[in-house]
Every structure is written in C-alpha cells, then in structure tokens.
Amino acid sequence: MAQTYDVAVIGAGPGGYVAAIRCAQLGLDTVCIDAFKNPQGKASLGGTCLNVGCIPSKALLESSENFHKAKHEFAVHGVKVSGVALDLATMMARKDKIVAQFTGGIAMLLRKNKVAAMHGTARFVSGGEVYTLEVDDAGKQETVTARHVIIATGSSPRHFDFSPVDGELIVDNAGALAFDAVPPRLGIIGAGVIGLELGSVWRRLGSEVTILEALPTFLAAADEQVAKEAWRTFTKEQGLAIQLGVKIAAVKAGKKQVTVEYADAEGSHKLAFNRLIVATGRVPNSASVNAAAVGVEVDTRGFIAVDEHCRTHAPNVYAVGDVVRGAMLAHKASEEGVMVAELIAGQAGHVDYDVIPAVIYTAPEIAWVGKTEQQLKADGVAYSVGQFPFSANGRARALGAGSGFAKMLTDAASDRILGVHIIGPCAGELIAEAVTAMAYQASGEDVARTIHAHPSLSEALHEAALAANKRALHI
C-alpha cells in the first residue's frame, strides 16, 4: 500500500533536505527520498555538497593550508618548527569524520522536524491531483503518493569520452578528495572553482600541479581585476601551472601514469601525470526521475524547465538547485528550497537572484556578488569604483595576509551598490555584508557611514565604500 504525503522531496542535498525541513515546519506531511551512497555503500544524506563536495574539500583546504604555514610561514612569527611531516592518512580521517558528523546531522534534523526519510531512486509513475512515485532501493520497490513534489536531484561531474574516469589514475572531484598518497605530478582538466580548489590542496601538500583550461580567459565569471590578481597569485606565488585555450586531443592511462595530449596557441604538447583530475563542470541529474511521465519538461542539456518560482510545467511539481537554471551553488539551492516550501504552504516565497554570492575557497579567497566591472561597461551603465588593498588593512597585515583587495561598484547617479568583489583573507565571510547591503538596496554611502570594528578585515569593505564616494581615509 502506498504511503501518502503532502509533499515528496526527491533528493537530500542542500536544496532537498532544506526544502523538506521547511515544508515540515509549515505543517506539511513530508517525505525526503534520497539515493546517495557513501564509499562504504551506506545511505548518506547531504548530497554531493556534504559527502564529496563543499564540506570535505574545505576540510582538506584548511588542513593543507595549515601544513603549508607550518613549513613556510610560522618562522616569521617567531614560531620555529622543525621536522614538519605530512600524515595524509590522519588528514583524510579528519575530513571523513567531519563528513560523517554533518551527514549524520542531516538525519537528525529530518527526525527532529518529523520528516520521513526514504532511501532509493524515485521516479514518477503517474500524475494528476496526486502524484505517484516508485522508489527503488537495490531492487526493493516501494510506492509513495504526494500532492506536491519537489525535484532536488542535484548534479554529477561532467565526463568526456576522451578522459574516461576510472577512479584510480583518472578521477573526478570525489576521487580527488580521497588520494592515499600525494601524487608527484598532478594534472587537472578545468580551471574553474573545483580545479583551483583541488589544485591548491595538492600543490600545498607537495604535488607539481598543471591545470589545463579550454577557455582562453581565466576566471571569466569573476571581475577582470580580481581574475588578474588571482592569476598572479596562483601562478607566480603559489606555483600552479595553468594553461589556457587548451584543446584536449587524447588521454591515455597506463599502469602508473596518465598521458595527456593537447594543443594550444603554441602548438601540440604531451604531458605525463601520476594522477589526473577531471574538473570540467557538472551536469544536472534529471534522467532518473522519469519527468516526461507527468509532463515535466527537460531541455537538451538536462535542465528541468522552471519559472522564477521554480514551478515546472506540471501542476504542483517544483524543481530546485543544480537541476534547474542558474548557478550550481548549495546556498542558491537551499534558498530555492525554502521559497518552494513557503509557496506550497500559501506564503510569499521569493529568491533574489541578483544577490547570490559566489566564493572560491583558495588562499587568498575570492568572493563576489552583483555585477562585474566588465558587465557594467557592456551594459553602458555609468558607475563609480572604490577599492582598498588588504596591504593597508591592519588586521590583514597582522594575519600575514596582506595580498588582494576589496572593490565596490556603485551607480554613478544614485550611489546604489551594483557589485562587490573581494580577493583576500576571509573573502567568503566578508561578502555577506555586501549581500545584505545589496538585498536592502543600500548605497555606497550607507556602508561608508556604518561603523566597522577596528582592527578588522571588514574595514577593507568600509574603505572601498568610502573610496567609491572619493573620500577614502587610509589610502
């Protein structure tokens, strides 16, 4: 006999589990269905983000940065360290423990909010006033019916025929978080967020890292000035070898190494690596839900068609997160999940897509929200620029993190903040102030007249706001 719910959520990543919790908070009888299994073959909630993405990668970024600082930076503080050695197994165990704590925490949150949890792959069987879903868990099938369905199935790494992922020598982001040894020579295909973060981890731990990027420009989505500063830092200071405008011709895996043949503006090349990471983006997980059975439209790239409120073409069926248009970001998925839950409950759910921050957790961190300078130029918008270097920020210098800057773009006529771009220490934390300011349509002067603690990194944003109004105090 089918179990009946008000809402069935397919997927327990940041979009799905948050949507399920919010639905339950609003009095809706909710089930959350998820198919993810960890490397041990056990059900593990949290999706890619908590299991093999955001959380484990940040754990390794922090550990590798501590290792690098102990070897190269502590001495300037008068802290003399000798015999620094890497215990990769312990580092990986710490990462795995954090993942286990958070995935277990999601299970606890679902129980706390009285959300039913099911493991398996859910697919539509029929629709109408009530939708019927078949849930398959390794051949064991159950049926669920619900008046509303939220699709939050996330995304998977994009694989290409020329670089087949074998999980050994050639890996995707999941495999790159579980190496049992530091590869002497590491190749990465893709210089996006995943490629740069993973490249940073293994470079700090001792790998010689080469990143091959198809696009002719570096960090094309970021502000050009930020991208230029990041390029200088990553290549000249940190030693990442980044090749742009690359066309991969062949990838050949041998017994102990991988050979990559590629061409760029300078001709044809061949490089050999001990390990190769394929970080060429992600594709939506839409095939498994049998969307066509209930009239949910999916485009040629696999994205589910939705409106601004994440409604699909099927009545009472919604889709959120990586499986729909927009940036593939965990926080974007979560906010869409909240919006949809509130709409189902008859409230006025909303997501402001103009103020979704982006963060790259390298060192220095990179973060931005709103328009870039090149976008404003292309749109013909008259704007003012305020910029402040972290080298002139007391807190940053005390931390030994004086590279980078904070940059604010404001409307030349109204002074409304149009974009904020930061490369420097704790940029991912600092960007929250900019997001809040823009969400409330603040002006540069509003931030400039807000008192910021001294000494703090946030003063860099304060000074950037002052500079946008041509009244900077410390530069």
Q: Are 24 and 168 in contact (CB under 8 A)?
A: no
Question: What is the spatial distance between Cα 332 and Cα 322, in angstroms, rounded to a whole number?
Answer: 9
Residue 343 amino acid letter: L
DSSP β-ladder status, 258-264 and 365-370: unpaired
The structure tokens listed for 271 are: 């490089």
Q: Rg of the Cα trace of the chain?
A: 24
The residue from 331, 452, 454, 462 that is catalytic is: 454
The structure tokens listed for 407 are: 């940059």
What is the phi/psi pair of residue 142, to 5°? -135, 160
Residues of 261-294 as b/e, b for ≥16 C-beta within 10 angstroms?
ebebeeeeeebebbbbbbbbebbbbbeebebeeb
Q: Residues near 434 by Cβ (< 8 Å), separated by ≥ 6? A: 357, 369, 370, 408, 417, 420, 422, 461
**Burial degree of 77 (CB within 10 A; 0-12, 13-18, 19+):** exposed
Integer angstrom CA distances of residue 355 from 231, 342, 379, 398, 439:
25, 20, 18, 31, 7
Cβ atoms within 10 A of the Cβ of 109, count? 16
Question: What is the spatial distance between Cα 154 and Cα 33, in angstroms, rounded to a whole number?
Answer: 13
Active site residue 454: yes
Q: Are 235 and 199 in contact (CB under 8 A)?
A: no
9 - beta bridge partners? 32, 150
The structure tokens listed for 424 are: 């420097």
Question: What is the spatial distance between Cα 383 and Cα 200, in angstroms, rounded to a whole number?
Answer: 34
- Provide the CB-side half-sphere exposure for 296 (13 A, CA): 31
Q: Are 393 and 425 in contact (CB under 8 A)?
A: no
Q: Which residues are catalytic?
A: 454
